[in-house]
Amino acid sequence: MTSGSQIAWDDTVLPFQLDRSDVRGRVARLDGVLDNVLKQHHYPASIEALVAEATLLTALIGHAVKLRWKLSLQIRGNGPARLIATDYYGPQEDGAPARIRAYASFDADRLDETVDPFSMIGSGYFAVMLDQGAGMQPYQGFTPIAGGSLSSCAETYFAQSEQLPTRFAVTFGKSAEPGRAARWRAGGIMLQHMPQAGMSVAAEGGSGEGGLLTHSDILSGDAGENWTRANVLLNTVEEMELIGPTVTPSDLLIRLFHEEEPRVFDSQPVRFGCSCSADKVRNTMSIYSQRDIEKMTTPEGLVTADCQFCGAHYELDPATLGFEGKNG
């Protein structure tokens, strides 16, 4: 049976601020969103874990984007897990839910389900991309795959690209409640030090892996002490507090940070959602000539396409495709 607290804050992101520490953050709980993302595919367990973590990070990071903006994460590597891609679509209007989608590309023959899923990425990069809409130049930021988890990669990205100390505490997995089928759940907290005048970074590089920046390369003095104190408190969080049905986000923040004067803001609902459509498939295929389209046409006289994110299947008339289209 679903409890009232689950109904109230599953699939939401709650922003907050710790006034004493100059730290802002978010609490996220994904239930139906993550289940919908993963049930579109039949991923091996290691790939499911990577997609689950990336989706949760996307919800936590994406909350900062404005209305109708789009934030994307891409994790690319030379290992069996070749690509993890997520999109976060900002709400179309105030009060509307944000939408999240995700998918993975992998080499099943090379996967090893006995090792840590993160090691299946290999060497590569963690990218954050921001699309602010028509007429605006998209933003892209990259950081190497390092640190032992996607969360660590995200922390490094913010330190390197934004010079903002950032910390994630996340957990995810399948849960089974009496009388209900097993389903995916995820929960996490993001902490981020607010920008301050006078922040400076040593020119010779950072103290982290491979010379990457860490919070100690950016913060010092009282700001560094405040950041350390908030992180020590976050270290006490338990997995069931992040994904369990009995502790609400506001109660969790009070339990963890009551001495840091937590202040919460309006929560943001998130839903699974894909932006694919037949028209977008046609636009994508507008780069091909009619000769190319003929090669794609099935014996039944159709061109088919499948959305990698949601699995939608499209069957299109080849006469409407290609850069010549109906005029060819």
DSSP per position, 182-236: -EEEEEEEEEEEPP-TT----TT--SSGGG---GGGT--HHHHHHHHHHHHHHTT
pLDDT of residue 1: 32
pLDDT of residue 200: 54
Q: What is the pLDDT of residues 57-83, one digit of tens each?
A: 999 999 999 988 999 999 999 999 999
pLDDT of residue 197: 56
Q: What is the pLDDT of residues 115-142, one digit of tens each?
A: 999 999 999 999 999 999 878 888 999 9
Q: What is the pLDDT of residues 172-224, one digit of tens each?
A: 998 777 777 788 999 999 999 998 754 555 545 677 777 777 777 788 888 88
The predicted model gives 95-114 an average pLDDT of 96
Q: What is the pLDDT of residues 231-290, one digit of tens each?
A: 999 999 999 999 988 889 999 999 999 999 999 999 999 999 888 878 888 888 787 888
pLDDT of residue 327: 42
CATH fold of 280-327: CBS domain Like (3.90.1280)
* Three-class SS state of 55: helix
What pairs with residue 129 in β-bridges?
72, 140
CATH of 10-272, one of 3.55.30.10, 3.20.20.70, 3.40.50.11440, 3.90.950.10: 3.55.30.10
Domain ranges of the chain: 10-272, 280-327
